[in-house]
């Protein structure tokens, strides 16, 4: 191939340097309004607490999974979405003594955790993960 043809071919394909694909933008971190909730009791008269879950520039939905329903023993807390979107709002209701963790996940696989402690002293031994 002559130099003139080579130069023309390079010009037609956008140049002769190596081109690497543009880096994919990294998702932002999930932000929580709190990372720990403490309830000094449960039952009538104890109000639920709220946690907001959000992520800048995120258009997907959040999911929640928790360890608040042990294989044995009573359910420690109920966690339910009360307002979907970004930010989403979840309500946490204390149901029995213990400690558990609610994990919030975006569709990119990122997670953020809230520790929930329910008990007369407001603290229990380490949370179930």
Please write the tens of the pLDDT for every residue from 6-60.
Answer: 333 334 444 455 555 555 567 799 999 999 999 999 988 899 999 999 999 999 9
Asked if the model's pLDDT at residue 97 lies above 60, the reply is yes
Nearest to 110 by CA among 60, 73, 68: 60
pLDDT value at residue 16: 52
| CA torsion angle 39 75 111 52 (round to 10) | -40
Model confidence, pTM: 0.73
CB 30 within 8 A of CB 106: yes
CATH 2.60.40.1080 is held by the domain 27-118: yes
> According to the per-residue pLDDT averaged within each range, which of 25-34, 58-67, 116-125 is highest?
58-67
Phi-psi region of 73 (alpha: psi -120 to 50; beta: other; left: phi over 0): left
Give 125's pLDDT tier (boundaries 50, 70, 90).
Answer: very low
pLDDT in the model for residue 70: 86
Tokens of 74: 């009573």
Q: DSSP letter at 18?
A: -
């Amino acid at each position: 191939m002559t130099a003139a043809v080579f130069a023309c071919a390079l010009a037609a394909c956008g140049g002769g340097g190596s081109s690497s694909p543009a880096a994919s933008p990294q998702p932002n971190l999930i932000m929580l309004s709190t990372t720990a909730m403490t309830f000094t009791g449960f039952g009538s008269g104890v109000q639920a607490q709220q946690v907001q879950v959000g992520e800048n520039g995120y258009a997907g939905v959040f999911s929640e999974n928790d360890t608040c329903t042990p294989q044995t023993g009573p359910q420690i807390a109920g966690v339910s979405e009360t307002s979907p979107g970004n930010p989403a709002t979840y309500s946490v209701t204390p149901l029995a003594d213990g400690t558990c963790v609610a994990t919030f996940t975006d569709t990119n696989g990122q997670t953020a955790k809230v520790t929930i402690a329910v008990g007369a002293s407001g603290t229990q031994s380490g949370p179930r993960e």
